[in-house]
Amino acid sequence: MSLFDDDLPKKKTAHEIGSDLSLLSVDELTARIALLTEEIARLEAERTRKSASRSAADKLFR
Protein backbone atom coordinates (compact mmCIF):
# COMPACT_ATOMS: atom_id res chain seq x y z
CA MET A 1 0.00 0.00 0.00
CA SER A 2 1.34 3.37 -1.00
CA LEU A 3 1.71 6.27 1.38
CA PHE A 4 -0.11 8.44 -1.14
CA ASP A 5 -3.30 6.36 -1.42
CA ASP A 6 -5.08 8.63 1.05
CA ASP A 7 -4.31 11.64 -1.18
CA LEU A 8 -6.27 10.23 -4.11
CA PRO A 9 -9.75 11.68 -4.55
CA LYS A 10 -12.51 9.33 -3.51
CA LYS A 11 -15.02 8.47 -6.23
CA LYS A 12 -18.35 9.96 -5.21
CA THR A 13 -21.26 7.58 -5.48
CA ALA A 14 -23.96 9.17 -7.60
CA HIS A 15 -26.70 7.30 -5.78
CA GLU A 16 -26.75 4.70 -3.08
CA ILE A 17 -29.87 2.58 -2.72
CA GLY A 18 -31.63 3.37 0.55
CA SER A 19 -29.75 6.59 1.20
CA ASP A 20 -31.41 9.54 2.95
CA LEU A 21 -33.13 11.71 0.35
CA SER A 22 -34.43 14.40 2.69
CA LEU A 23 -31.47 16.74 2.16
CA LEU A 24 -31.62 16.67 -1.65
CA SER A 25 -33.13 19.45 -3.72
CA VAL A 26 -35.80 18.87 -6.37
CA ASP A 27 -33.11 19.31 -9.06
CA GLU A 28 -30.86 16.73 -7.37
CA LEU A 29 -33.76 14.29 -7.09
CA THR A 30 -34.57 14.84 -10.78
CA ALA A 31 -30.95 14.18 -11.71
CA ARG A 32 -30.89 10.96 -9.69
CA ILE A 33 -34.14 9.80 -11.26
CA ALA A 34 -32.62 10.39 -14.71
CA LEU A 35 -29.48 8.51 -13.72
CA LEU A 36 -31.44 5.56 -12.37
CA THR A 37 -33.76 5.52 -15.38
CA GLU A 38 -30.72 5.27 -17.67
CA GLU A 39 -29.33 2.47 -15.53
CA ILE A 40 -32.64 0.57 -15.66
CA ALA A 41 -32.64 0.86 -19.46
CA ARG A 42 -29.05 -0.45 -19.55
CA LEU A 43 -29.95 -3.39 -17.30
CA GLU A 44 -33.02 -4.24 -19.37
CA ALA A 45 -30.99 -4.13 -22.60
CA GLU A 46 -28.43 -6.51 -21.12
CA ARG A 47 -31.18 -8.83 -19.90
CA THR A 48 -32.70 -8.84 -23.39
CA ARG A 49 -29.31 -9.56 -24.96
CA LYS A 50 -28.66 -12.44 -22.59
CA SER A 51 -32.15 -13.85 -23.06
CA ALA A 52 -31.63 -13.86 -26.83
CA SER A 53 -28.29 -15.65 -26.44
CA ARG A 54 -29.83 -18.23 -24.14
CA SER A 55 -32.78 -18.75 -26.45
CA ALA A 56 -30.42 -19.31 -29.38
CA ALA A 57 -28.39 -21.80 -27.34
CA ASP A 58 -31.53 -23.64 -26.24
CA LYS A 59 -32.65 -23.98 -29.88
CA LEU A 60 -29.24 -25.29 -30.88
CA PHE A 61 -29.24 -28.06 -28.26
CA ARG A 62 -32.82 -29.26 -28.72
Question: Phi, psi (5° rounding) for residue 45?
Answer: -65, -40
Question: What would you report as the CA-atom Rg of the chain, rounded to the nearest whole angstrom?
Answer: 20
51 closest CA partner among 41, 61, 43: 43
Q: Going residue by residue through the chain, which has 62 residues, state the pLDDT in tens, using 9 for 90 and above.
A: 556 666 666 666 578 899 999 999 999 999 999 999 999 999 999 999 999 887 777 777 77
The CA-CA-CA angle for residues 7, 10, 13, to 5°, reads 175
What is the full DSSP assignment across 24-62? --HHHHHHHHHHHHHHHHHHHHHHHHHHHHHHHHHHHT-
